[in-house]
Amino acid sequence: MSNSHKGQLELGIQRLHEKDRNHHLGGRSFYFFDFDDNIAFLSTPLILFHKTTGEELRVGSGEYAKIHPHIGEPGRYQDYEVRFDDETGTYRNFRDIKISDIEKLEGKKQIFVQDLAEVLGFPDVQWKGPSWQCFYHATFNRRPISVITARGHDPKTLKEGIQLFVEKQFLPHEPNYLSVFPVNHKPTRHILGDTSLTMSAAQLKQKAIRASVEKALDVYGHNPHHRFGMSDDDPKNIQLIAEEMTRLKTDYPEMSFFLIATHDGNFVKHEITRDGAEPKVGEGSFANQLKLFDVDRHKS
């Protein structure tokens, strides 16, 4: 649907709730999602700085994921650098800002909430990411969901933004959150063991995935028929996610682990074995997204 005021909720009213694929065996399906360029495309810019003049160059998150390895290297971005100050640097729009009590009363919101509200005013085909259908399916069926993002907002800010999907009727209700890990949020980094604040976002996502799996087992119990999947669009993150899931598969060999690579708008599923990732599904159709965990009608 291209009308920005008609979302997936309209489809959901006609849809029946479906049990987990391994429900009869006591297994659960757990969905882990990166947010930007995966669930949704936002216009939040990252800022590069000219090394000499300090002139700012704004780039989108999708472009940044591609050019990041080349910043400062010979080529188009050789004269630019990344700056790490949370208030003035490259990632300042991916962090919470200070909002006074008066500003809160006046309705001022965090940047993430503002940016999401803005794109939800556009036709939905413009902002829905490659994992949106999977995110909707998991939410509709109340699957346990983890949001694992490189953003540095407070987890409450992410939930406030995601609540807009409900208010705008793109989701039928709030997700069944298992965990929310904005891995560049300093208190979250401490929770993940990065007390020196030296780990990369990809390394922190590894720790967040393991923490989410361990919480799933704590909350829902150990069961050999549990299934875990993580979708992300950043190639460097995908590599380290695959490595961590391979370790998890070694630790929990009877459970199933999946990685979904969505860079460049693709949707490629890999099943994780103890030898690494094996491609399984290379199509981005809604039907194939639903086959990830619990709607594979070709298997019992």
pLDDT in tens, 237-292: 898 999 999 999 999 999 999 999 998 878 889 999 988 766 664 444 445 555 55
- Please say whether the beta carbons of 29 and 293 come within 8 A: yes
Name the percent of the chain lying above pLDDT 70. Answer: 87
Average pLDDT, the chain: 89
**Is the pLDDT score of 29 beyond 90?**
yes
Q: What is the pLDDT of residue 178?
A: 98
pLDDT score for 292: 55
CA distance 39 to 48: 25
Residue 6 has pLDDT above 90, yes or no: no
Name the least confident of 12-26, 52-66, 124-138. Answer: 12-26
Judged by phi (left if over 0) then psi (alpha if -120 to 50, else beta), residue 73 lies in: beta
Per-residue DSSP letters for the chain? ---TT--HHHHHHTPPP---TTGGGT--EEEEE--BTTTB---PPEEEEETTT--EEEE-HHHHHHHGGGTTSSSTTTTEE----TTTSTTGGGB-----HHHHHTT---HHHHHHHHHTTS-HHHHB-TTHHHHHHHHHTT-EEEEEES-BS-HHHHHHHHHHHHHTTSSSS--EEEEEEETTSHHHHHHTT-TTS---HHHHHHHHHHHHHHHHHHHH---TT-EEEEEE--HHHHHHHHHHHHHHHHHSTTSEEEEEE-GGG--EEEEEETTEEEEEE----HHHHHTTTT--TT--
Confidence of residue 12 (pLDDT cuts 50, 70, 90): very low
Closest CA relative to residue 33, chosen from 243, 289, 248, 282: 289
pLDDT of residue 288: 53
Q: Which two tokens stand for residue 92?
A: 């300042």
Q: Is the pLDDT of residue 219 over 90?
A: yes
Query: Can you tell me the mean pLDDT for 28-33?
Result: 97
Q: What whole-number distance in Å separates Cα of residue 139 and Cα of residue 119?
A: 20
> For residue range 121-140, what is the model confidence (pLDDT) as tens digits?
999 999 999 999 999 999 99
Q: What mean pLDDT comes out for the span 209-213?
A: 98
pLDDT for 123 equals 92
pLDDT single digits (tens) 151-183: 999 999 999 999 999 999 999 999 999 999 999
Give the amino acid at 127: W
As a whole-number percent, the residues of the chain with pLDDT over 90 amount to: 74
Residue 30's beta-bridge partner residues? 228
- Residue 198, Cβ density class (10 Å: 0-12 exposed, 13-18 middle, ≥19 buried): exposed
Mean of pLDDT values over 50-75: 94
Q: Which residues of 13-43 are buried (b: 16+ CB within 10 A; e: fewer)?
A: eeeeeeebbbeeeebbbbbbbbbbbbbbbbe
Beta-sheet pairing, 29-33 with 144-149:
parallel
